[in-house]
Structure 1
């Protein structure tokens, strides 16, 4: 597997992941969308299908990591050379930003209508709880389309939540090779059953563990779109909440490393 294959596969796959995953968030969040207020079930299953689609598309090129936490876990396991990590990370971050831009392009009219709607703007409190549109709220009315945020802001608890959820995800991926018929003969990709298992694991994590923080469980899934949110010329978009941005980056990376360690201790 060449560096070009890795970079290309991860860029395309992660772009599709964020396009479909961020797309379901936009569909549920934006007022003029047909799926407006469809709810948490729509979001969790949308992200699961996003993982499934992206994995099928990119598996043949890069192995469909699509997530630095997965790459770290595989490196700890010994299945991915540590020297390949920068290439994986670069493709994943670029792909996440491209995917976020495609979400914006797809829903451009809905973003414009949502962010100029008086009812939407009036419902956005500032940090002191008062409604004052002269002061931008800490997290804008569409930030949730691009990145995650906690329901209760407590750094240690939020970090622990992301670590636990990511351990579940990465450990489920690392142990697939122990299930007969799941791992492909070609070690590049996760195999048909492996991709499906991972997709349903993502749905399960969202339903069971996603409530506190929105389950980033993937550093670039959060960071790439957050950068795009900060750069896009959207009116009344609010802040990008950079004070929280480190949690969904550090938490999943720690979770991926821990999952790799657990695999080496318990399953080898």
Structure 2
């Protein structure tokens, strides 16, 4: 056993490091405060502390030009949008107009087609009627020839001409010519058959009806009726034609004395003129 074991230690107990640090900090702070106070009291004429001013960074931007550019850009965008709207409106108007025009064109085409079909049907009907009339006319002519033959054998005053067709009675030719002459001055209308207007074949057909003879409606067929006669051997009541026999484009009635009565055209109407005014191509004798 040590000879010092019974002697109590006089060493102070150790303090913790954290406590020492706190105490050192407090002490340092106190010393700093005292030092500053001493300095302040030792030099009272020292210059006062200056205030520190923080400078804001200067923005290197031209705000005026940017605002102006933005305004111009916005205006350009507005104008562009307005232009697009206007173009769209014009396109819509054009489409609407084109649709309307197409509708009108379709309606016109349909109306034209309907009119052409109606005209075609009418022409067909007229052709059928002409064929029927031509058959009736030939039947009547055959009956007239038979009657004239009987009259000759019975001592009738009428005589046959060189063509073999019995010469017409004066009364029949007079009825035809008088009727035609009474129509002079009336209007020429294509397709007209009276009583206020006629075309060329309509007048001839109506005049021959006064003598009880039914003729075809068309000038081509009328020029095929009866017997051909020369223009130097015409008799009142003969049918004159222009063009070729069977395909004549115009007909009239020989009224005697080198004249004819006919529905010439819309400008002259129905007139009585000299053969020299419009010399015919040929003539047929139907009476």
- TM-score > 0.5 by shorter chain: no
Structure number with the higher helix fraction is: 1
- With structure 2 as the length reference, what TM-score do the two structures score? 0.23
Q: Higher strand proportion, which one?
A: 2
Q: Which has the higher contact order (CA 8 A, sep 6+)?
A: 1
How does the TM-score come out when normalised to structure 1? 0.25
Greater Rg, structure 1 or structure 2?
A: 2
